[in-house]
Chain A
Amino acid sequence: MQSGALRNSCISLYTKVRNGGSVSKTRNRSGSGVLAGGMSKKYDVLVIGGGNAALCAAIAARRGGASVIVLEGAPKFYRGGNTRHTRNMRCAHDAATEILTGPYTEDEFWKDLLLVTGGQTDEELARHMIRESKDILNWIVEQGVRWQPSLGGTLSLGRTNSFFLGGGRAMLNALYFTAEQLGVEIHYDAEVTDLVIEDAMFLAARLKRPIDAVNEIRATSLVAAAGGFEANIEWLKEYWGEAADNFLIRGTPYNRGSILKMLLAKGVQEVGDPTQCHAVAIDARAPKFDGGIITRHDSVVFGIVVNKHAQRFYDEGEDLWPKRYAIWGRLVAAQPDQIAYIIFDSTVVTSFMPTLFPPIAGQTVAELADKLGLDPVALEKTVTDFNAAVRPGTFDHTLLDDCRTEGITPPKTHWARRIETPPYLAYPVRPGITFTYLGTRVTKEARMLMKDGRPSANMFAAGEIMAGNVLGKGYAAGMGMTIGSVFGRIAGQEAAKHARN
């Protein structure tokens, strides 16, 4: 994009900054002056995206004295991307709080991160994030978000993770309310179709639909907080092939990664493995998009999991469920037709959280197989072989117990009990993609790095779009929100600082 073309299409904008209810008009600090088409006024900070990271950035930038506009590509109801479906955040803290049962030190957080990523993380960035997370615990409350103790059925997170009272949408509502009170200008259905970037410098964003007759937004700083590309099936297919057609997307259809794609195409350095994503096994009857948390299944450890040939394919009892639930999306994705079935019997139905979709039931294994569309003979054999391999033991799902199988492949190394009490039950599951890891490389100021290693003067990124800097692979509950809030706030502060200078 040439600057001449930019100027010809440049539209002036008044930046409305509401201070205590009164509307004042701030002058353009960068002094671009009179251009073709009249006075040009622009924003100090443009935030693209509308989730946790975007709102934390907008609020931090506004509190830093900047005029801020937020462009959320989704309609108002679907605002906030994956934040809608979140429920907690993992922050370090040195002592128990009203809602957290004990300390979770920076060091312990770091060790957990190292463990889940297998070392695939940027240590400087990650340690900085963990340090900052301590302060976020209070800062986010100052922005109107309210905490509550961990939800029923999530006791294992009671010490490490703070839960949002009312869930992720309640958190979003609070952040939007605060941002509006502060005078941040927010637009919905505001899809950005192009970014004007010259020499590692952001100049303007083009809009699909004009806002107040303006179809281009100029800003001194850009914060890109527009999430990953998990809802972009075509893009997923580049890495997963046709299998991606069978993926279900746990969040909204608006997480299409278009901003990420533009940034990478315009010279921003990429980070993260494009095939990596957070994927869990969710009910195959869930809607294609936005089924959220309620389509998940916690019953794997209580039964066996078979593929469409009625064959087991992985150790269902490898480790405690909170440590293993996030691998099952990828495991199912690797099975034929990307479908699998959790098979259990009537003795365990109350052992896990109630489910949205009821289990499919059969009085015999063959009848169940028939209802699932599986080969009855094959399923009967799989169940019979499994039952025969179960060794006696003392069942305890809260620890790695001694109920295991012997002589079958794959084994079930814990919580193995015979499946023999009708009705026999099953949940069909498919891969449910939560978010992707491919992103833009950033510094610890959340500043984007260009392909040649130069830091951009005025482009910042926060949230899922840069999560790959911290999470090379793997995941631990609540970390996405930590990345969003911590780097959102940093990006907002840095963007405002840049605009002030």
Chain B
Amino acid sequence: MHGTRILDEADRLMTVCNSCRYCEGLCAVFPAMEMRRAFSDGDLNYLANLCHACGACYVDCQFSPPHEFNVNVPKTLAVARAESYAAYAWPRALSGVFARNGLVISVMAALSMAAFILGFVVAHDRDVLFGVHTGPGAFYKLMPHNAMAALFGAAFLYAILALVMSVRAFWRDIGAPIGGRADGGSIFQAIRDAGELRYLHGGGVGCYNEDDRPTDRRKLYHHFTFYGFLLCFAATCVGTLYHYLLGREAPYPWWDLPVVLGTLGGIGLVVGPIGLFVAKRDRDPALLDEGRYGMDVGFIAMLFLTGITGLVLLVLRETAAMGPLLALHLGAVFALFITMPYGKFVHGIYRFTALLRYAQERRRAS
């Protein structure tokens, strides 16, 4: 028996699946399962995070409901996955945030944006807040660069710390050898598998969403979102380097690297989340962890908000709307950063970690 009902159910299903093995060619979950005959909590959390929720094993399973064996691996692992985020959350006191995640994320987003707007209003005269600022350093008339860097740097560092501590607990629990370091080959393999979403493909035909016809839409929109996020992050990094190394202050012209990266990334963060939201809305409820709808949509909405406020700020940065828009954009980004370790964002970190473990296991087995 395990600590939770969902892990008991996951154990039951893995026992069924391990005596069948028909799905072995569909993804990484089943080959990883076959390397075990019994399943600890950590094993089940590992398999849950290895699952990309493509749905193929549900559509292909002769024992899925209404069969009395009631085998629904995607849904069970989705619930187990979400519960694992809470189980490994650092500090433990904040693991409850995952329970009402949609609410927490939206309150944090609203508070964060409100705080920036309020801060701007309190700190500035009306004509500064609604003034037209152009040229290098325009943004910093509203918020000094050092204040911005300190605030966001601190939020970002906290997010990193919390994520590292959480993943450490996960990595230990999923049976990674004590003191064992991941080898370069496994890391490279895991980066590739994560980067191309190798296992969100239903064994080659695509992912199952609203019916039994597979498509690659979710993969495509996830790529938009993920690479959009990375481009935005790269834009921020390049901007920081420009500032400190070259002494060049934002805003930069539209053709300059931070803006180009940010614009492309922003488009990704608008198109991707919309596509993912529509896919989620239309998805067969049989495959969904409906209890986590708020968490999933909350994260999608945060990414969308970050992207759209950034793009609008870019377009209107030389108008009187710049001040309020900057407050909104910074508010969105700040909320995204501080909620990162306590929302759907962590799925990518845990999945990458699970893929790394899988790559290691495969190497050791071969």
Chain A residues closer than 8 Å to B59, beta-carbon distance: 169-170, 173
Are B56 and A166 in touch, CB under 8 angstroms? yes
Cβ of B336 under 8 Å from chain A: no
Give the segment of A285-293, A315-323, A363-371 that binds chain B.
A285-293
Are A84 and B62 in touch, CB under 8 angstroms? yes
Contact with A along B14-43 (1 / 0, CB 8 A): 011011111111100001001001000000
Cβ of B181 under 8 Å from chain A: no
Name A73-111 residues within 8 Å CB distance of B. Answer: 77, 84-85, 87
Name A140-198 residues within 8 Å CB distance of B. Answer: 146, 148-149, 151-153, 163-170, 173, 177
Cβ of B203 under 8 Å from chain A: yes
Are B60 and A354 in touch, CB under 8 angstroms? no
Whether A77 touches B213, Cβ cut-off 8 Å, given contacts A152-B24, A166-B25, A167-B23, is no
B342 vs chain A, min Cβ distance (A) = 36
Cβ of A353 under 8 Å from chain B: yes
A173 to B208, CA, bound (A): 12
Residue of A nearest to B208 (CB): A173
- Specify which of A87, A146, A290, A356 is in contact with B19 (CB 8 Å cutoff): A356
Give the total of B residues in contact with A, Cβ under 8 Å: 30
Residue of B nearest to A349 (CB): B37
Are B26 and A153 in touch, CB under 8 angstroms? no
Cβ of B68 under 8 Å from chain A: yes
Chain B residues closer than 8 Å to A85, beta-carbon distance: 62
Cβ of B212 under 8 Å from chain A: yes
Chain B residues closer than 8 Å to A164, beta-carbon distance: 22
A274 vs chain B, min Cβ distance (A) = 28
Most A CB atoms within 10 A — which of B15, B21, B60, B62? B62
Name A212-261 residues within 8 Å CB distance of B. Answer: none
Cβ of A294 under 8 Å from chain B: yes
Chain B residues closer than 8 Å to A77, beta-carbon distance: 66-67
Whether A166 touches B15, Cβ cut-off 8 Å, given contacts A84-B62, A146-B204, A292-B63, is no
Whether A166 touches B19, Cβ cut-off 8 Å, given contacts A173-B60, A290-B67, A292-B62, is no
- Specify which of A146, A152, A153, A293 is in contact with B203 (CB 8 Å cutoff): A146
Cβ of B61 under 8 Å from chain A: yes
Cβ of A355 under 8 Å from chain B: yes
Whether A151 touches B21, Cβ cut-off 8 Å, given contacts A169-B61, A356-B15, is yes
Chain B residues closer than 8 Å to A293, beta-carbon distance: 19-20, 22
Most A CB atoms within 10 A — which of B19, B31, B59, B205? B19
Are B21 and A166 in touch, CB under 8 angstroms? no
Cβ of A2 under 8 Å from chain B: no
Residue of B nearest to A153 (CB): B21
Residue of B nearest to A171 (CB): B60
B257 vs chain A, min Cβ distance (A) = 44
- Specify which of A153, A165, A168, A354 is in contact with B204 (CB 8 Å cutoff): A165
Whether A165 touches B203, Cβ cut-off 8 Å, given contacts A148-B25, A153-B21, A290-B67, is yes
Name B209-226 residues within 8 Å CB distance of A. Answer: 212-213
Chain A residues closer than 8 Å to B37, beta-carbon distance: 350, 354
Are B23 and A166 in touch, CB under 8 angstroms? yes
A289 to B19, CA, bound (A): 18
Residue of A nearest to B21 (CB): A151
Name B62-89 residues within 8 Å CB distance of A. Answer: 62-63, 66-69
A287 to B69, CA, bound (A): 9
Are A165 and B25 in touch, CB under 8 angstroms? yes
A154 to B206, CA, bound (A): 27
B2 vs chain A, min Cβ distance (A) = 16
Are A168 and B62 in touch, CB under 8 angstroms? yes
Whether A356 touches B16, Cβ cut-off 8 Å, given contacts A148-B25, A152-B34, A166-B26, is yes
A266 to B239, CA, bound (A): 84
A433 vs chain B, min Cβ distance (A) = 17
Whether A165 touches B62, Cβ cut-off 8 Å, given contacts A77-B67, A153-B21, A356-B15, is no
Are B62 and A353 in touch, CB under 8 angstroms? no
A76 vs chain B, min Cβ distance (A) = 10
Name B290-322 residues within 8 Å CB distance of A. Answer: none
Are A167 and B62 in touch, CB under 8 angstroms? yes
Residue of A nearest to B35 (CB): A152
Contact with A along B152-173 (1 / 0, CB 8 A): 0000000000000000000000
- Specify which of A149, A163, A169, A177 is in contact with B60 (CB 8 Å cutoff): A169
Chain B residues closer than 8 Å to A292, beta-carbon distance: 20, 62-63
Are A151 and B24 in touch, CB under 8 angstroms? yes
A148 to B25, CA, bound (A): 7
Are A170 and B60 in touch, CB under 8 angstroms? yes
A300 vs chain B, min Cβ distance (A) = 16
Are B19 and A294 in touch, CB under 8 angstroms? yes
Chain A residues closer than 8 Å to B61, beta-carbon distance: 167, 169
A77 to B56, CA, bound (A): 15
Residue of A nearest to B12 (CB): A356
Residue of A nearest to B22 (CB): A167
Chain B residues closer than 8 Å to A146, beta-carbon distance: 203-205
Are B212 and A173 in touch, CB under 8 angstroms? yes
Chain B residues closer than 8 Å to A170, beta-carbon distance: 22, 56, 59-60, 203
Are A87 and B22 in touch, CB under 8 angstroms? yes
Are B16 and A294 in touch, CB under 8 angstroms? yes
Chain B residues closer than 8 Å to A353, beta-carbon distance: 18-19, 21
Residue of B nearest to A251 (CB): B62
A38 to B209, CA, bound (A): 44
Chain A residues closer than 8 Å to B25, beta-carbon distance: 148-149, 163, 165-166
B108 vs chain A, min Cβ distance (A) = 42
Chain A residues closer than 8 Å to B22, beta-carbon distance: 87, 151, 164, 166-170, 293
Residue of A nearest to B14 (CB): A354
Chain B residues closer than 8 Å to A151, beta-carbon distance: 21-22, 24
Name A316-364 residues within 8 Å CB distance of B. Answer: 350, 353-356
Chain A residues closer than 8 Å to B24, beta-carbon distance: 148, 151-152
- Specify which of A163, A165, A354 is in contact with B18 (CB 8 Å cutoff): A354
A84 to B69, CA, bound (A): 15
A75 vs chain B, min Cβ distance (A) = 9
B6 vs chain A, min Cβ distance (A) = 20
Most B CB atoms within 10 A — which of A77, A166, A168, A293? A166
Chain A residues closer than 8 Å to B204, beta-carbon distance: 146, 165
Residue of B nearest to A176 (CB): B212
A148 to B23, CA, bound (A): 10
Chain A residues closer than 8 Å to B213, beta-carbon distance: 177
Chain B residues closer than 8 Å to A163, beta-carbon distance: 25
Name A482-498 residues within 8 Å CB distance of B. Answer: none
Residues of A near any B CB (own CB < 8 A): 77, 84-85, 87, 146, 148-149, 151-153, 163-170, 173, 177, 287, 290, 292-294, 350, 353-356
Other than the known A165-B26, A166-B60, A167-B20, what 4 A-B pairs have Cβ atoms closer than 8 Å? A146-B205, A173-B60, A287-B68, A292-B63
Interchain Cβ contacts under 8 Å between A and B, 17 examples: A85-B62, A87-B22, A149-B25, A152-B31, A163-B25, A166-B23, A166-B57, A169-B59, A169-B60, A170-B22, A170-B56, A173-B59, A173-B212, A287-B68, A293-B20, A293-B22, A354-B18
Which 7 A-B residue pairs are closest in the complex by CB-CB distance? A167-B22, A166-B60, A148-B25, A170-B60, A294-B19, A356-B19, A84-B62
